[in-house]
């Protein structure tokens, strides 16, 4: 059995990333957390009092004047892209905001934003629609970071179902993922990845070689062009797509699932637990039809490692970060790192309880190396920071309570403080703005402040 929990401290890592050597002591900036976890017993470490930016305080939205968020002192924000607001193309903004990617375009930032909607009428024009019986998709927003203002927004993809998360690519596109394997009322199969250019609409053509399963997120290694994909299911794999042409994902490729040495289950891993990657199991029929073996069935038959509800994924610090939303002994979530340089898979953080981290979902890495974790749990919802030193802290709290007057202007009002965070991503290059969504009622936020004074 080579699955193991080891002390950390052998060598420095690429830009502070976690890495692990098979059969040797782990190394990397998460060493401090692993040591604290080992000393604290099964519950692990609690929130850091020093790595964050201070206590969370009511902060006024520069758009509405309402105190929609709790943030550390010195941080400011504005809201835009609300559900039902008219976009530049005259269409109302769809609801259910979810995963999102940010792209630099000259002096502007383009955001491609998912909408996790099910059956219904598409919200995009027919030339960017996959299925006339499905209401999910993406909208694209253009933001001016110097002015701190939304410039325009438009529908960029629709006719899809439950567009949950996805990921950016080095080619400047967003991979929007369907979290379903439904067949629509019109007999159209779903469960695919769709590519959306940052600067224009999608063709609405699925990338079927990337598999048909309950997709969650993707992370692309810019060095190899390999796309790593998570699967939101109780039994799920970490998949790897090796494209025939890195710059043309539509040209097809090979889908594989991660296999670990000595273990096939990561569900109860704690902080610091690691295993070498033995290899990658081929998924020979990625576009399986009803009645055929699913991608997971094919992967598990070959010994692929099991992850419990794989959700967020992000490439940063030289590794691929992967989130399990309900893994770990407390059932409150895990953050893993796959290091392609030495083929190891390591749990860099396992939540010891809901008071520390409650069901992480979407994830991103800041330009300074820290991780942002979006909660999708129960009760009040937070975005947390996780430093490269392994310290976790609350960064933002959902405080959205809308007065009755919003029912007349936007079509909804009430208490939305239990709505999940999603779509966290930083402005490319400068990294001065963090963008994030609240799924209900559907709001996008742009947050700025003294990032270098803390772990993000």
DSSP symbols for 306-323: BBSSEEEEEEETTEEEEE
The tokens describing 7, both together, are 């002390």
Smallest Cα–Cα separation from 446: which of 438, 454, 196, 406? 438
Smallest Cα–Cα separation from 230: which of 314, 344, 333? 314
Contacts of 425 (CB under 8 A, 6+ apart): 100, 101, 102, 111, 168, 364, 434, 435, 436
Alpha carbons within 13 A on the beta-carbon side of 438? 26
The tokens describing 22, both together, are 């098979």
CB 456 within 8 A of CB 393: no
Q: What is the pTM of this model?
A: 0.91
- Confidence at residue 389, expressed as pLDDT on a 0 to 100 scale: 80
Degrees (nearest 5) of the Cα angle 415, 71, 359? 65
Q: How many CB atoms are closer than 10 A to CB 12? A: 11
- Confidence at residue 61, expressed as pLDDT on a 0 to 100 scale: 98
CB 341 within 8 A of CB 19: yes
Query: Distances in Å between the alpha carbon of 9 and those of 28, 34, 42, 272, 345?
Result: 7, 10, 21, 11, 17
Q: What size, in residues, is the chain?
A: 456
Each of the 456 residues of the chain gets a pLDDT tens digit; together they read: 333 332 222 222 222 333 332 332 344 434 444 444 333 333 335 677 678 999 999 999 999 999 999 999 999 999 999 999 999 999 999 999 999 999 999 999 999 999 999 999 999 999 999 999 999 999 999 999 999 999 999 999 999 999 999 999 999 999 999 999 999 998 999 999 999 999 999 999 999 999 999 999 999 999 999 999 999 999 999 999 999 999 999 999 999 999 999 999 999 999 999 999 999 999 999 999 999 999 999 999 999 999 999 999 999 999 999 999 999 999 999 999 999 999 999 999 999 999 999 999 999 999 999 999 999 988 899 999 999 888 999 999 999 999 999 999 999 999 999 999 999 999 998 899 999 999 999 999 999 999 999 999
CA quadruple 330, 5, 324, 70: dihedral sign: positive
CA quadruple 185, 189, 192, 195: dihedral sign: negative
Name the fold adopted by 4-453: Neuraminidase (2.120.10)
C-alpha 70: how far from its chain's center? Answer: 22
């Amino acid at each position: 059995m080579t699955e193991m929990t080891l002390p950390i401290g052998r060598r420095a890592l690429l830009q502070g990333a976690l890495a692990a050597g098979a059969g040797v002591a782990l190394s990397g900036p998460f060493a401090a957390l692993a040591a604290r976890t080992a000393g604290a017993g099964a519950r692990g470490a609690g929130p850091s009092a020093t790595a964050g930016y201070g206590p969370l305080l009511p902060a006024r939205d520069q758009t509405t004047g309402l105190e929609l968020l709790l943030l550390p002192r010195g941080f400011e924000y504005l809201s835009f892209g609300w559900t039902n607001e008219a976009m530049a193309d005259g269409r109302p903004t769809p609801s259910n905001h979810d995963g999102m990617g940010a792209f630099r375009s000259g002096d502007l930032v383009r955001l491609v934003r998912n909408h996790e909607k099910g059956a219904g009428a598409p919200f995009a024009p027919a030339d960017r629609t996959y299925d006339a019986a499905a209401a999910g998709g993406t909208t694209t927003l253009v933001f001016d970071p110097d002015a701190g203002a939304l410039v325009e927004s438009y529908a960029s993809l629709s006719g899809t179902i439950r567009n949950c998360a996805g990921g950016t690519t080095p080619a400047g596109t967003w991979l929007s993922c369907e979290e379903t394997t439904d067949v629509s009322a019109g007999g159209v199969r779903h469960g695919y990845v769709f590519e959306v250019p940052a600067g224009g609409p999608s063709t609405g053509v699925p990338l079927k070689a990337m598999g048909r399963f309950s997709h969650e997120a993707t992370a692309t290694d810019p060095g190899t062009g390999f796309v790593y994909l998570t699967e939101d299911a109780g039994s799920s794999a970490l998949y790897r797509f090796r494209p025939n042409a890195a710059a043309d994902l539509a040209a097809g490729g090979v889908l594989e699932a991660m296999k670990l040495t000595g273990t096939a289950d990561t569900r109860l891993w704690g902080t610091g637990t690691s295993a070498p990657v033995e290899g990658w199991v081929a998924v020979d029929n990625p576009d399986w039809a009803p009645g055929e073996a699913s991608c997971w069935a094919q992967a598990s038959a070959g010994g692929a490692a099991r992850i419990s509800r794989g959700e967020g994924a992000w490439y940063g610090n030289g590794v691929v970060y992967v989130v399990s939303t309900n893994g770990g002994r407390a059932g409150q979530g895990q953050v893993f790192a796959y290091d392609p340089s030495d083929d190891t898979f390591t749990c860099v953080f396992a939540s010891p309880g809901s008071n520390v981290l409650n069901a992480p979902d979407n994830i991103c890495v800041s330009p300074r190396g820290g991780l942002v974790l979006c909660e999708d749990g129960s009760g009040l919802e937070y975005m947390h920071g996780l430093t490269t030193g392994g310290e976790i802290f609350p960064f933002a709290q959902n405080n959205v309570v809308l007065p009755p007057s919003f029912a007349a202007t936007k079509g909804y009002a009430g208490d939305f403080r239990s709505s999940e965070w999603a779509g966290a991503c930083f402005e490319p290059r400068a990294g001065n703005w963090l963008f994030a969504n609240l799924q209900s009622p559907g709001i996008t936020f742009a947050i700025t402040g003294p990032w270098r004074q803390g772990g993000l």
